[in-house]
Amino acid sequence: MRILGIDPGIAIVGFGLIESERGRDQMLRYGAINTPAGLPLAKRLLQIEQDMEQLLQLTKPDVMAVEELFFSNNITTGIAVAHGRGVILATAERMGVPLFEYTPMQVKQAVAGYGKADKRQVMDMTKRLLRLSDLPRPDDAADALAIALCHARCATSLLQRQNLAAKQTI
């Protein structure tokens, strides 16, 4: 299964594509979509949409995993990121890519084994699990790979829950 992990943002949208097969995960590609700071919000959102569409066409993922928003201090930045996240979700839906969402705690738990792991621990485990020689840069791309790994580790249980729910409605 090809999983595209997305770390949403407005200035930087991290992405990481992995192939997950029978518990073995391999990094295929990672990077970031960058929007210039001087652009008005609407133009940044349009660029994110266009770049996401191109990324989805290029990588052809089976599923996309996106981190849910968590912001504590700067509500203004959080709202702008939420706009970007909305564009990302809408683009995936429009292009027919199945979408899964994970909280930061779920990502940390799946990758590092501890839901309150710090960023460095998650990045180190991402590097180890994908057998990478260096930490991916920028950090947003490393985060996106961790999100993809989270889905790879959770997909079986999600599928089991969907199958169970389908059987209960019959």
Residues with active-site annotation: 7, 67, 140
Closest residue by Cα to residue 4 from 103, 119, 131, 89: 89
> Which residue do the tokens 């985060």 mark?
143
Compute the distance between CA of residue 104 and CA of residue 86 in angstroms, rounded to an integer. 17
Please name the residues in contact with 7: beta carbons below 8 A apart, sequence gap of 6 or more: 13, 14, 15, 67, 140, 141, 143, 144, 147
